[in-house]
Structure 1
């Protein structure tokens, strides 16, 4: 059975994956990797695109 498409547009910059973990290459004392959580700057971690008609315009 086909999946239903979301009724909101997905962010073009992150393609629906708004938060990612990036390894820094280092490790903590217990042996786990040190990571940074980074959110998409375009959608601010929501994974939804703002329609062009609703985008704020101004000088």
Structure 2
């Protein structure tokens, strides 16, 4: 039997890619680049969103 996947909604703003590494343009003494890790502000770095409440589905 096939195994069912969890039904966790993916964040619509980051598409599940919750963090991004952005280079600052400078380099360390060993030659590697300095990076900043930025988390998605909507899902707070989880990649998933909370399911909508019943009132949101009803349109009220």
Structure 1: which 5+ runs fail to align? 55-59
What is the TM-score normalised by the length of structure 1?
0.76
CA deviations over 1:2-52 (Å, ceiling 9, x no partner):
xx6551100001000001100001100100000000000000011011223
Which structure has the larger Rg? 2
Report the count of equivalent residues: 51
Q: What root-mean-square deviation, in Å, do the aligned CA atoms of Structure 1 and Structure 2 show?
A: 1.7
Please list every run of 5 or more consecutive structure 2 residues that lacks an aligned counterpart in the other structure: 55-60
Written as runs of structure 1 = structure 2, the 5 A alignment for 1:41-56 is: 41-53=41-53
TM-score (norm 2): 0.75
